[in-house]
Amino acid sequence: MTETSKKTSCRKVSLTNQIVVKPFWRAATRFGIRKLTRPLHDFVGPYKDTLIHFETTAPVVALTIDDGLSRGGPHVSMVQDVLQLLKEYDATATFFMCTDYLKDQQDDVMALMKEGHELGNHMQEDLNMHYCRLPKEEFKKQLQDANQVLEELEQRHQQTTDHSVSTGTRNPRWFQAPQLILTSRMKEVMDDAPIPMQHVLGDCYCDDFQFAQDMDSKNQEDFDADQCRAVMNEIGQVLLTQAQQGSIAIFTCQKEDFVREHSMLWSISCKG
Ligand SMILES: [Zn+2]
């Protein structure tokens, strides 16, 4: 790619962010994601049982971490930083796992289960418009395959841990549809699964990927710490504004040197 086209693509992303993405999230946050998603839950068939927030009288939120463990492989994984931060605040999280990313990261999965975190099913990979197009039997197979990988990891954890602190195989199995696209066909398969499966979204989310695009499209040497801090600050403020009692917060776990990871760590630090 030439320098000129690099700059053009950078400007294009930035313009989209300024005109569409950021104003949308600011407006959605002001209105309230919980209110905004209620029609989805009430009227859109496959999403009717979806957990978007949970009932509680305690001042707590649930932390979910999307695309676990690391899309880029173990050498760019930040899971140890995430685990350290969660431990610091005595927090546990549900890691929605893409099983294709786990092949070389089994030790890290064991480490997070040992800390009391749990695994959710996010299929083999977070692919856009892939699982919703699969024939029913093929989706069923891929869903079961992902469940099996998670069950084997949980069994391994059971065998290596003190049963007095073990939480056992989770029931129901949490599921988050890749790209949050759930069709009636996918829901039917989930409902017929041998272990009951609960689809989970959230009411505390910022499109951090789009927010961070401006930074990611820059060369590392152009990376400006103040600009990075400003993006993190904005993402963090959006999440903190949305968080309320019983919120389900969605963070994304990807790789080092990607601004959204730092924004996630920053947001959790602020939230305490
Ligand atoms: Zn995802």
Is the Cβ–Cβ distance between 48 and 237 less than 8 Å?
Answer: no
Say what the pLDDT of residue 224 is.
66
pLDDT, greater one: 47 or 258: 47
Mean pLDDT, to the nearest integer, of 27-39?
Answer: 87
Say if residue 46 is preceded by a cis peptide, omega within 30 of 0.
no
Question: What is the band of 252 on the pLDDT scale with cuts at 50, 70, 90?
Answer: confident
Confidence at residue 259, expressed as pLDDT on a 0 to 100 scale: 45
**Beta strands 93-97 and 118-121, pairing class:** parallel
Average of per-residue pLDDT values in the chain: 80
**pLDDT at residue 25 greater than cutoff 90:** no
Ligand 1: distance of its center to the CA of 178 in Å? 5
Q: CA end-to-end span of the chain, whole Å?
A: 43
* Strand-by-strand arrangement of the 248-252 sheet: 197-199, 173-175, 118-121, 93-97, 62-68, 248-252
Domains of the chain: 3-271 (3.20.20.370)
| Cα dihedral 162, 175, 42, 37 sign | positive
pLDDT bucket at 42, cuts 50 / 70 / 90: confident
Query: Are 37 and 28 contacting, i.e. CB atoms less than 8 angstroms apart?
Result: no
- With a cut of 90, say whether residue 19 has pLDDT above it: no
Rounded distance from Cα 253 to ligand 1 centre (Å) = 9
Tell whether the model's pLDDT for residue 97 goes beyond 90.
yes
How many angstroms is it from 22 CA to the middle of ligand 1? 20
Q: Taking the CA atoms of 74, 75, 80 and 82 in sequence, report the sign of the dihedral they define.
A: negative
Query: How far is it between the farthest Cα atoms of the chain?
Result: 61
C-alpha span between 47 and 51 (Å, rounded): 9
Instruction: Give Cα separations from 251 to 68, 161, 248 (angstroms).
Output: 10, 28, 10
Per-residue pLDDT tens digits for 213-246: 655 555 445 556 677 777 777 778 888 889 999 9
Q: Tell me how far the alpha carbon of residue 2 lies from the centroid of ligand 1, in angstroms.
A: 31
Compute, in angstroms, the gap from residue 200 CA to the centroid of ligand 1. Answer: 12
Per-residue model confidence (pLDDT) at position 104: 87
3-state SS, the chain, equals CCHHHHHHHHHHHHHHHHHHHHHHHHHHHHHCHHHHHHHHHHHCHHHCCCECECCCCCCCCEEEEEEECCCCCHHHCCHHHHHHHHHHCCCCEEEEECHHHCCCCHHHHHHHHHCCCEEEECCCCCCCCCHHHCCHHHHHHHHHHHHHHHHHHHHHHHHHCCCCCCCCCCCCEEECCHHHCCCHHHHHHHHCCCCCEEEECCCECCCHHHHHHHHHCCCHHHCCHHHHHHHHHHHHHHHHHHCCCCEEEEEECCCCCCHHHHHHHHHHHHHC
What was the pLDDT predicted at 215? 56
- What is the Å distance from ligand 1's center to 181 Cα? 10
The rounded Å distance from CA 256 to ligand 1 centre is 17
Within 10 A of 157 (CB to CB), how many other CB atoms are there?
20
Q: How many angstroms separate the alpha carbon of residue 162 from the centre of ligand 1? A: 32
127 vs 271 pLDDT, higher one: 127
Q: Distance, CA 98 to ligand 1 centroid (Å)?
A: 8
Distance 37 CA to ligand 1 centre (A): 18
pTM for the structure as a whole: 0.83
Ligand 1 geometric centre to CA of 177 (Å):
8
Q: Of 68-77, 144-153, 172-181, 191-200, which range is least confident?
A: 68-77
Q: What is the pLDDT of residue 222?
A: 56
Measured in angstroms, how far is the CA atom of residue 128 from the centroid of ligand 1? 9
Is pLDDT above 70 for 268? no
Listed range (30-34, 253-257, 268-272) with the worst mean pLDDT:
268-272
Interval 102-160: pLDDT, tens: 988 999 999 999 999 999 999 999 888 899 999 999 999 999 999 999 999 999 998 88
Ligand 1 centroid, distance to 144 Cα (angstroms) = 18
Report the separation in Å between the CA atom of 67 and the middle of ligand 1, taken as the mean of its atom positions.
4
Average pLDDT on 59-74 reads 87
Mean pLDDT of 240-256: 82
Ligand 1 center–CA 68 separation, angstroms: 8
Q: Pick the residue with more confidence: 16 or 243?
A: 243
